[in-house]
Amino acid sequence: MEFHVWLAYFAAAWVIALSPGSGAVLSMTHGLAYGVRRTSATIAGLQLGLAVVLLVAGVGVGALLLASATAFTVVKVVGAVYLLWLGWRQWAAPVPAAEPAQAGADPASAAAAAEPRGLPPVRSRLLLGFFTNVTNPKGIVFMVAVLPQFIDPQRSLGMQLLVLLLTTVMVDVIVMHGYAFLASRAQRWLATARARRAQNRVFGGVLMAMGASLFMVKRMA
């Protein structure tokens, strides 16, 4: 791959990553609820899903999905239903009342109190991130439209896909951690039960809106 081609894709990768989407919403939601460090597992799952979408589009399966109305509809409906379920779960998530700090608490108790309530295990966060990206038909549509512009048919497809994949993942990891960090900074202002409930409904509503919008996605001509 020529350097100027990679540089153009590098710029495009930033635009893609910074565009608001379900991955960004999930990163902000977990960053606000669990902090940046614990959100890294979610972001790792997002990257696995992103890698699958890129590879599927890169080897031509994405084009096959776009050509088959049935296959595309199945992917679209699964992705839409998944985001609707995810958004509703976020919307209806219980908000525990904040407990006042107790004077003279021992360090072990303090450490336990610092651990976020309702923190899903690492595996759950990883799978949540993975399925959020891998069931998004918009990602397949976008990759099928964009990737051919940066692939030279006269060169090794595998090496080019590897370069594009590493570039995409590197940029997306930085951006998603940035979203999580910005959201985590708002924790002090969203410490009350009322504020947390409002946060759950805002992010849950956005995810459900994104899920509903997937039903409107059309196949490429």
Q: What is the pLDDT of residues 117-151, one digit of tens each?
A: 568 889 999 999 999 888 877 777 777 777 777 87
Task: Tell which residue, 144, 143, 132, 138, has the closest CA to residue 215.
Answer: 138
Q: What angle do CA 185, 190, 196 make, to 5 degrees?
A: 125
pLDDT, position 41: 95
In a domain, 55, yes or no: yes
How would residue 99 be classed by pLDDT, with cut points 50, 70 and 90? very low
pLDDT above 80: residue 107:
no
In a domain, 78, yes or no: yes
pTM above 0.85, yes or no: no
Domain membership of residue 172 as a residue range = 22-96+120-214
Question: What percent of the chain shows pLDDT beyond 90?
Answer: 23
Instruction: Return phi, psi of residue 186, to 5°.
Output: -90, 0
Predicted confidence (pLDDT) per residue in 172-211, tens digit: 999 999 999 988 887 766 666 676 777 777 777 877 887 7
In a domain, 125, yes or no: yes
In a domain, 4, yes or no: no
Domain count, the chain: 1
Across 215-221, average pLDDT: 65
In a domain, 187, yes or no: yes
How would residue 167 be classed by pLDDT, with cut points 50, 70 and 90? very high
Q: How does the average pLDDT of the chain come out, rounded? A: 78
In a domain, 220, yes or no: no
Higher pLDDT, 116 or 187: 187
Count other Cβ atoms within 10 Å, centred on residue 169. 19
In a domain, 219, yes or no: no
In a domain, 1, yes or no: no
Task: Tell which residue, 2, 16, 7, has the closest CA to residue 143.
Answer: 16
